[in-house]
Amino acid sequence: EPEVTQTPSHQVTQMGQEVILRCVPISNHLYFYWYRQILGQKVEFLVSFYNNEISEKSEIFDDQFSVERPDGSNFTLKIRSTKLEDSAMYFCASISPQGMNTGELFFGEGSRLTVL
């Protein structure tokens, strides 16, 4: 079964360092997303991406964050200068053309970011 894959599964970094989280969405999917979940908190929308550009972003997605689709498969989230409060699980998700009717997002297993 096709799946969204994310790397790394866990990254520990020092405050102020840059981090890149990588995702390979399901191949025929068109919309891509990053969500995050701080431990014990709800899943929060960060950004959606369609046709090689950001289609929507939340107030969380400030200038420290950026997304890119450098090639036909990878979808990356970059955090330029990490803060302690960036520690969270970051989920990549994608949706199929058919899924636009069902609302079924396919999530990757997540990348846990720990900022020290």
Sign of CA dihedral 37, 4, 11, 76: negative
Q: Which is nearer to another protein, 7 or 45 (CB)?
A: 45
Of residues 65, 75, 88, 108, which one binds another protein by CB under 8 A?
108
- Is residue 91 a contact residue for another protein (CB under 8 A)? yes
β-bridge partners, 26: none
Contact of 45 with 58, CB cutoff 8 Å: yes
| Cα distance between residue 70 and residue 19, in whole Å | 16
Q: Looking at this protein, which amino acid is placed at residue 1? A: E
Site for another protein in 7-46 (CB under 8 A): 31, 33, 35, 41-45
Residues that bind another protein (CB under 8 A): 31, 33, 35, 41-45, 48, 55-56, 89, 91, 95, 99-100, 102-105, 107-110
